[in-house]
Amino acid sequence: MDKKNVIDVNLKNYKSLHGAYEKAVKEGKTGDDVIVWDGMEILISYLYYMLEYFEMVAPDVKEYARKNKITRERHRRADKFFAQTHCDRCSKPLDSFRIMSWFNEQILCPECNDREKKVRKAIGESGDNTSYEGCGYVPEIKVEDANGQDTD
Ligand SMILES: [Zn+2]
């Protein structure tokens, strides 16, 4: 095996890896997926740990991450996001689709996300109106589910 398998801990690599990570997340890749970066195959879940490691050991990377509000906490959350197997709200198994709640840090299945979208719509949360974003609770409001049944 003569493939390069060591990644230098420096700001250039950090930026490049972080860009690859964000691209992968946007494409809907999960922690078990593999991306090719600079000719190397990297498991996404390993990529998070690597980014976190860079932030711990390299002062210029730490400074860059601080300025750009890229915190280790955010990586940890991303890791939990992909590792989680069940919806936080209804406990249904999660497959490929999962999304962070608008209101708190729960990870939701498609049905709970749809219900949350209706709550957001009902309280007028959209576009620039984001006063409830990350408020930590879901406002109690009656919305109809897909069957036309009232739920809370
Ligand atoms: Zn759910």
Residues lining ion ligand 1 (Cβ < 5 A) are 87, 89-90, 109, 112
Q: What's the pLDDT tens digit per position in 84-140?
A: 889 999 999 988 788 888 888 888 999 999 999 899 888 887 666 677 877 888 888
Query: What is the structure's pLDDT at 1?
Result: 45
- Contacts with 9 (C-beta within 8 Å, 6 or more apart), sequence order: 53, 54, 57, 58, 61
Residue 115 CA, ligand 1 centroid: distance in Å: 9
Residue 27 CA, ligand 1 centroid: distance in Å: 22
Residue 61, pLDDT > 80, answer yes
Residue 69 CA, ligand 1 centroid: distance in Å: 30
Torsion sign, CA atoms 70, 72, 77, 82: positive
Residue 87 CA, ligand 1 centroid: distance in Å: 5
Query: What is the structure's pLDDT at 99?
Result: 85
Residue 109 CA, ligand 1 centroid: distance in Å: 4
